[in-house]
Structure 1
Amino acid sequence: MLDASEDNIRKGPEVSRELFGGVLDFDAAGHYPGLELLNFVYCGESEDPLPIGDTVKIKRRSHDFGRRLVWDGSFKDDPRRHSVLLDDAAAEETLRELLRCLQLEIPNGTKEPKWSRAHFFPYTPSLIHWDARERYGDIRLERLYLRGGGALAYKILRFDPNEARLQRIREGFKQLFGAIARSPLEILADFINKQSKTDTQPGLDEIERGTRANVDDFEDIYRDGILNILEQKEATSVAKIRAVMGWTAVWLVLMQNQRARKTLGLTESPIICDCGAGSAQLRRVSQRCLKEVLANIVKAVAGAEPQIANTQRNKIRSFFWATAAANGFLNAWRGRKHFTLSVDALEMIVLATIPSGEEMPFERFATEVLYDRLGIAVGRGAAEVSGLVNSIDASIFEENETQLALQMIAAGLVTQYSDATRMVSPRSAS
């Protein structure tokens, strides 16, 4: 039995809400906040994707039929299998392989997952689903990996004080799946979803209700990014869905870093990315930068609740590195880590920061977008403004910026018109 002092120690979710506005909790895969956000947007009781009011209700669905068909060997004994698939072995295997191809990647997965850990990527609206597990022979809808990051992002979007932007984001979400709303995959996903366990009635989400929005101006960076992504005219629906999920994840870790520093009374300091310049010094600096970020998160948590259990503290800390790694902001999931920017991360950032049909000189993108707006240091301009050139030779950052440009040119995100003119635009995202 807990004594009074133990009973009064706040748990990780409470401390995370105080520090960061919502529950940032290690989810063992690192990219589920975006999937959680889409559940709130498209599975609410209202047709409004961003309803007003202090609380929201969502109707969760498990997709357990399809997930168990692929990833649960015992599903062969499920009576639904015989009634739906009509004992056609060839059709069942074809369906299983099709659904397997829809899996949302598990970055640290080394073996076949359990069905409750495997989720479908939301290529169509009916593929969006909640967490579920089997307990005592029954399928239960409950949080396993969708732990609150997406709920915080949803609250921030719903409570946008800029009414014009809020309405445009609403319309953008309504149109996001428009081109594929009646595709063959959507028809199949809808049928499979109807064979699965769902909530009979929309239920109140306590995690979303307990989150806080309008904490600081950095939330407008997230809102502007979502708006830009949704209004990209030349990007496909799938590219925009990926970008919404990636932008949500990366913004959350950038926010976590900023608010931890603010809590500790530290001045702003950029996240230093090694973009492949080949400098051992830059690599070490980026590694130290990551260690400092993680240490600051731990210090902020300990300051808010000195007696918090190590496991609770480490879950909040691990949210940062796992989410960053899964979304191309760290070089690896395991081993020695440093900050970098993968092609997928760069595409998402371009879609989120450059409006449809516009372009920006690469040098301005590296300084005004990556550094000024997001707090990411890559090139010489950011190094000079932040004072990094006092300890690291400026030429290292010049080469780092050159490597970033080459990567973006190869990915189609930068068009080089001449030796002096390189323009960043989202038109090549697909």
Structure 2
Amino acid sequence: MAEPLKIALAGLGTVGTGVVRLIETNAELIARRARRPIRITVVSARDRGKDRGVDLSGYAWDDDPAGMATRPDVDVVVELVGGSDGPALTLARNTIAAGKSFVTANKAMIAHHGLELAAAAEQAGVALKFEAAVAGGIPVIKGLSEGAAANEIERIYGILNGTCNYILSTMEDTGRDFADVLAEAQRLGYAEADPTFDVEGVDAAHKLSILAAIAFGGQLRFDAVETTGISRVLAADIAQARALGYVIRLIGMAEADFSQGTPRLFQRVRPHLVPFDHPLAHVDGATNAVVAEGNFMGRLLFQGAGAGDGPTASAVVADIIDIARGEKGVGFSMPAAELRAMEPATTGHRIGRAYIRFTVLDRPGVLAEITAAMRDAGVSIESLIQKGRDDEAGEVIVAMVTHEGPESAVSEAMRILEGADSLTAPPLAMQIIGQ
């Protein structure tokens, strides 16, 4: 058998220790599939003395992760530190500059710097692998770049953040409000102490921008992802959606338009109403799911655990196995120089139905004010429900579903009502996803 592939591992958190356990537990199987042994030779983390539940005594320790790239006993560097810049980015640049392949689970770094790193890796003749950066253990990047390579992808969308999905599905099952379920998710370890990146949609936006680049052959445009999180979704919204035949899910969606001279890219993360009979409606808990629609393959659904030590470590080690086999590939399914520049697509022309919720004072004339704004903006109302709030005296929830129409009309109605005395909170609009 060939010489072992020697691995440096930076970061020994949940995923890092999962990688150690996986490589040790399945060493013989991995060696057969990789056609050579894979061995960790050196590790690095912030706290050398911390008990991580794995035996690290057989590995060298390096207090300087950035220096791991130039060690003679390292062939591949695995980065599990996190963060879009700082030590993770320095390690990535150093590794590639040293002519060594680089594996990461760091979606923020890839979303911000992936194009630069991919170009550098291609020039150096090394691999840049990041399967674990999107949807944990689901092989969606490999599925898009290899399995669906012959297809023109028309649309890609899905549930890309397990924390948000856990919160929304728990609200759905229990009838509790967002703040209460978030606190529970933090106690159980599903949500970070500072959950902003998750609940405000930033984490999902990082992942969506990566998937869009792979699916459409475009340059990364994380800065162009329109992002709205779930923090304003009420238990009343969940209940109304259920009554109408929907569940609420945070959906990342991307579409490309090549019909004009300059390719345009639509990217958005936002809570949506999903019909009961849609595959994404049945994705509960911390699960992730990605739907890709191609011109010949039709609809593909990738579903599985989107986080956790085992699934994410599995994706990391799968990338390492590819490198051991000599399968370097390119970062984004085609050479970085061939990725097309794509302008952000405007969303106002998009046609669809929407759910709109208003929290208003319970007084005469309020409903007439809302419906007048809808009329003046050209929004046609399909159904309307008014319901009092048990916890807020004098407040009423007014929820409506629109007929199909341009999103710009809904935005105009929101503009007309902006600052209205009768509204006690800004309205919330959620698109209704198609079948």
Give the structure-1-normalised TM-score: 0.24
When you count helix as a share of all residues, which structure comes out higher? 1
Over alpha carbons, which structure has the higher Rg? 2
When you count strand as a share of all residues, which structure comes out higher? 2
Which structure carries more relative contact order (alpha carbon 8 Å, separation 6+)?
A: 1
